[in-house]
Every structure is written in structure tokens, then in C-alpha cells.
Amino acid sequence: MAYRLYEDESHASLYSKFRPTYPPKVRQVISEFIKKNGGGFQKMVDVACGSGQGTFHMADLFKQVCGIDISQEQVHQALEKSKQLNIKNVEFCVGTAEKLPFADESVDLVTCAEALHWFHETTFYSEVDRILKHGGCLAAYGYGHVEAKHENVQPLIRHFLKDTLKGCWADRIKHIDNCYAELNLPYEKLERYDFYSEEQRRLPDLIGYMRSSAAYRRYSELHPGNIVLDELEQQLHKELGSDIPKEKIMIHIQFPMFVLICQKE
């Protein structure tokens, strides 16, 4: 495995708190693709599930759901959330995308959300092919870099992501930059969907999201004690209304979203 990110306890907890969940459109396009191509809804496996961002929103479509992640801490966060949400048909386990602990031809849908670019693709695809039933589907989806819908704020966010964190992004992040345009999924029957997901976020939560990025973790290793995110928060606060407490400032943001889904014959 080439990349080991998002795995320690503090990172997993930041991740769980600040990472976005997925808009209803993701589940809609996936379920429509499965239905129109005659796939089933018995068992779904969410690979690299993190703290369940891509697992829980799909759970009621399937009889049985399993989230799997290489990180014990991420799985711990997912189990905690599962208890809070009281979802009964979802289980989680620790494991890798390259050696999936499921029987041959036993799964209707494999998903991986914001994660395929971290895997050893060919090994993952052969595991997917082994565990999928005939007619089963693989969905790989995710989101690109956050954008602010405020004209005066977007350049500050862009500067932080592109210039301040320059050199701290893993090379595979290029696949997120181009929304998986260069990743080839393994089956010919394939569709892709692109759209934006918009939301209003509190300023401190947007800063929390930035803090949860692997690139900022890398930046902090190189610059311990840095205050770049505090500075960004102050700048955004100034632009958006410094007379209002920062906890009350809401920022209109969007993420470019992409969903690729394909079907095994």
C-alpha cells in the first residue's frame, strides 16, 4: 500500500466531525443505475469507509451493509456514529481494499467514496471482480476542493489550498483535482455524473474541514506550531463581517461532486 493517511486518532476524530456527508443525489444516481440495469439490493460493501460518510446514507437501500477501512481509528469513529444513529443493518471492520474479507460473488454493490485514488487499483479491481455477483456494481465517487460562493472569499481559500499548502499534497491528489478523469473503472457498462453540492457552513467548521485535510497535516509536520489556519480564519472573518462573532458567520460553499458507476456482466 502506497499511502497511509487519515489514520491516527486525532485525524480520524477531526475527519468524523468536519468532513462532508454526501447529498441525496449521490444515492439517487447509484440506485437508479442499479435498478435500470437489473442489479440487486441485498448486500453492499463500502470500502475505505472512514467514519461512515459514504456508508450510512446508503444503508436503508440494502438489506446488509458492511463498511471496511484500513484504519482502526476510523472504524472506531464509524461504530460510535452507528450507535448514535441506531442503524441496525450496518457493520464495520478493519481491512484493506486490496484484500477484501468477503466471499466470492456475494456482493451487489461495492462503493468507495473519496478513496479510490489511494488504493492499489489493479489489486482492488480484481478483489471487486471476485466478490461482486454477476450484475453487481462498483461505484466510485467523491468531491473536489471546496469553493466559496462569495467573490471576495474564494481567492483567499484558493490561495490557502494552492499556494500555502503547495508541495504538501500527495501526488495522487491530481485524481481529485480532475475528478477521476484519468482513473479507468474495470467494467465497460459505465456512467458518470458531475454536479455541485452546496451547503452553508459555520466559519469555524470550514476551518475544521481545512484542518482535516491530509495536506494540512503534512504542512503541520513541516511547520510545527504554525498559525496559517488561524490567519485564514481571521481574514475570512474580516471579509464576511468582523462585527459578528465568528461562530455565527455562515459561509456559502460548494464542492464539485462526481459519481462513476459500472456493472459487472
Q: Which residue lies nearer to ligand SAM by CB, 173 or 190?
A: 173
Q: Which residue lies nearer to ligand SAM by CB, 70 or 185?
A: 70
d(CA 140, CA 68): 15
- By the 10 Å C-beta count (0-12 exposed, 13-18 middle, 19+ buried), 225 is classed as exposed
Angle at 155 between CA 151 and CA 161, to 5 degrees: 135
Chain residues that interact with ligand SAM, rule: CB under 6 A: 1, 6-7, 19, 48-50, 53-54, 69-71, 74, 96-98, 113-115, 118-119
Rounded to the nearest whole angstrom, what is the least distance from the CB of residue 138 to ligand SAM in the complex?
A: 14
Residue nearest to ligand SAM (CB): 50
d(CA 60, CA 103): 22
Rounded to the nearest whole angstrom, what is the least distance from the CB of residue 119 to ligand SAM in the complex?
A: 5
Contact 106, 131 (CB under 8 A): yes
Rounded to the nearest whole angstrom, what is the least distance from the CB of residue 76 to ligand SAM in the complex?
A: 11
Q: Which residue lies nearer to ligand SAM by CB, 15 or 33?
A: 15
d(CA 259, CA 265): 20
Rounded to the nearest whole angstrom, what is the least distance from the CB of residue 29 to ligand SAM in the complex?
A: 16
Q: Which residue lies nearer to ligand SAM by CB, 95 or 135?
A: 95
Rounded to the nearest whole angstrom, what is the least distance from the CB of residue 9 to ligand SAM in the complex?
A: 12
Angle at 62 between CA 58 and CA 68, to 5 degrees: 65
Q: Which residue lies nearer to ligand SAM by CB, 71 or 164?
A: 71
Angle at 124 between CA 64 and CA 134, to 5 degrees: 55
